[in-house]
Structure 1
């Protein structure tokens, strides 16, 4: 920490900003060619501040650079895909493993940054490395990228650095992120399947109404007889779809994007949607169990790292993945801060099952709250896993029945006039 303060004071005397005042330094990616000491030709690409610094870095590695130029950017869009939570989880595991093996943090970051396939991820890792080389702490360097590294991660790293157990904390963070990403994947799977079923049903209906039904209608015109009511209904729907399909498509697109836009910006709407989702049969149970698992694992991880319980609960609130549980967690934090036992505070919000409350009470009494919460997290993560598998098995026959009824109803509606004509003949 003394080095950091000295660097900051020196920068202040020179009238420059401290290294940690930078907001998201972006490194350019260069392609280079050169020869090693044996004269073997080599080439590659590497992020750097400028071409001269990259040449100096290559010479340190025993490579004589013959060409260094900025990598050309793609014609459309920025280079590289966005940084995903899964990539952050892998980064956490890589840095934890290297530091635990005795690799200095700067060298570990250099290895990860130079070997990453996503240019945006490589640029971010190299920017973090540069910050640390300039005297910034690891936690402060991560703070330059708050989207990728949330408050929970930064707080845990800060605690680990202060206590001198950074490698242990990083290993805990890596395990936590891997478990959370696995849980998120299961929830997405549970919600994605029904959405795909509904989309396929709508698409099949639209194709039948726009392309198939009009062909039958031309045949019905030659009958010269009144069509059955059910057939008239399908024909009317087909005419409407043929004439106004673009209006329906526009309304659907506007409604979807409008809802997403409002959902991201309206806390009352988020709370309402999250509360309704929890009430959906089967899916609601999965979301409940997922929120409890994330609550328990996040709290256990932060508390085990040495974060005080009240501060830990504040970090946990945003990690539950549901605004209903987020508000409940903040209420628990307020109750704990004025002297309530955590299990009593959990009981008051009326969201947590009796088993979770009792295990929390036992953990508090035995002084092993983190161990008990880890057990709760493992139990409910297994419950989510089993529920997702059960949901998939339940939905498959329902999909077949639903699409069968939909298509069968249209086929019957189209053949009713033919049956009626055959009866008259």
Structure 2
């Protein structure tokens, strides 16, 4: 079975092709037939002729392990959009979740691998390399260079900093790799991050940017809004938005109105809540759609500043470790 992320990339690619064909004034049913002829889509033998776009998406989606109900919610949302004449927006919505990164940008997965490698290198330096220099200089009755002593104090086996960094990296890996297993355990961490001034604001903004597209493409009735939230939760399964949607759905399951549940959710920003407060529901949804179209924080506009800062930090740490290793060698050479 395909992974959820890999399957979503395939669905996003199909959505982009369908949307491009619709922009060429090709009717939806014919656009689907073209992709079937190109072997991009499987044969639509059981397709609903009145809902060709949602049928095409349904034929591509594979339910992730442990969540077979996630596919119907996404398909139901696309079908609802198609029935209201917003099929193209539904395609843009799915396509925009998987736009490839611009050349030269680095994904969070790559950064995580780099951090893991960095931790391994630092551990080797801290356990096997720098202590050997310490023993040699103690036997010679002299001290290590000041910079080497500083680095050893920071990353040495007895230093708390290296263990704190290892714990932070473990939490990051758990959060990114196994969120489906540890989802309930991540809720307290979500609350902690949301309470932080800069990180919390960034998480709320990202959640609000994405959910605006799902809700904005839905109808004004509560059922359609609920389906949109369920679809967003399923599509972003394992991410911060999925957990924010789960919070809304839990509140709605107690009988609370979906709008009230959204307004009380902590995972969305004040701009999103202000849009929900607009009395005319059509205007409120139009405001959400406008935000989704103009936002600059979705994948295709993702800033490369954070990866650059992280990689700069990694470079500084590696340079410090190398300098700390070579300074004792130079000092030993001067003593000979």
TM-score band by shorter chain is 0.5 to 0.7
Figure out how many residues of one structure are paired with residues of the other and give that number.
304
Secondary structure, counterpart of 1:132 in structure 2: coil
Contact kept, 8 Å, 1:152 with 1:315, in 2: the verdict is yes
Which of 341, 345, 350 in structure 1 is aligned with 2:266? 350
Aligned to 2:97: 180
Task: Name the larger-Rg structure.
Answer: 1
Cα distance, 1:208 vs structure 2: 6.2
Secondary structure in structure 1 of the residue aligned to 2:140:
coil
CA contact (8 A) 2:101 2:300 kept: no
Partner of 1:41: none
1:264-295 deviation line (CA, Å, top 9, x unaligned):
32332343555566567856544332211111
State whether residues 313 and 333 of structure 1, in contact with CA within 8 Å, keep that contact through their aligned partners in structure 2.
Answer: no
Matched position secondary structure for 2:268: coil
1:200-349 equivalence runs, <5 A: 200-202=117-119, 204-205=121-122, 225-226=140-141, 228=143, 263-272=179-188, 274-275=190-191, 285-303=201-219, 308-319=224-235, 321-322=239-240, 323-331=242-250, 333-334=252-253, 338-339=256-257, 342=259, 344-349=260-265
Counterpart contact for 1:93–1:174, Cα < 8 Å: yes
* 1:158 aligned residue: 79
Q: Aligned in 2, Cα 1:190/1:333: closer, same or farther, shift over 3 Å?
A: farther
Relative to structure 1, is the Cα distance of residues 264 and 150 closer, same or farther in structure 2, using a 3 angstrom cutoff?
same
**1:180-207 per-position Cα deviation (integer Å, ceiling 9, x unaligned):** 2249989x94634643542453455477
The CA deviation at 1:299 is: 1.0
Q: Deviations for 1:129-172, whole angstroms, at most 9, x for unmatched residues?
A: 22239x897556754654279334311343356x4x6xx43311
Corresponding position of 1:360: 276
Q: Quote the Cα distance in structure 2 between the aligned partners of 1:264 and 1:376.
A: 29
Aligned to 2:286: 371
| Cα shift readout 1:109-144 (whole Å, capped 9, x = no counterpart) | 44313424xxxxx4xx224x22239x8975567546
Q: Could you tell me the TM-score, scaled by structure 2's length?
A: 0.65
Unmatched runs of 5 consecutive residues or more in structure 1? 1-23, 25-77, 117-121, 239-253
> Contact between 1:89 and 1:177, CA under 8 Å: does it hold in 2?
yes
Deviations 1:94-122 (Å, cap 9, x if unpaired)?
334546735572x5444313424xxxxx4
The partner residue of 2:35 within 100, 108, 112 is: 112
Per-residue deviation at 1:371?
Answer: 0.6
TM-score normalised by structure 1 residue count: 0.53
Q: Distance in 2 between matches of 1:393 and 1:261?
A: 22
Instruction: Select the residue among 320, 325, 329 that pairs with 1:410.
Output: 325
Looking at structure 1, the residues matched to 101 and 200 of structure 2 have their Cα atoms a distance apart, in angstroms, of 15
1:242-283 deviations in Å (ceiling 9; x for gaps): xxxxxxxxxxxx999998875432332343555566567856
User: Equivalents in 2 of 1:131, 1:210: separation in Å?
Assistant: 62
Mind listing any 5+ residue stretches in structure 2 that lack a counterpart? 64-69, 157-169
CA 1:382/1:333 → structure 2, altered by over 3 Å: closer, same or farther? same
Pairwise CA RMSD of aligned residues?
A: 5.0
Show the counterpart of 2:165.
Answer: none
C-alpha displacement of 1:86: 3.1
- Name the structure where strand makes up a greater proportion of residues: 1
Give, in whole Å, the separation in 2 of the partners of 1:84 and 1:414. Answer: 53
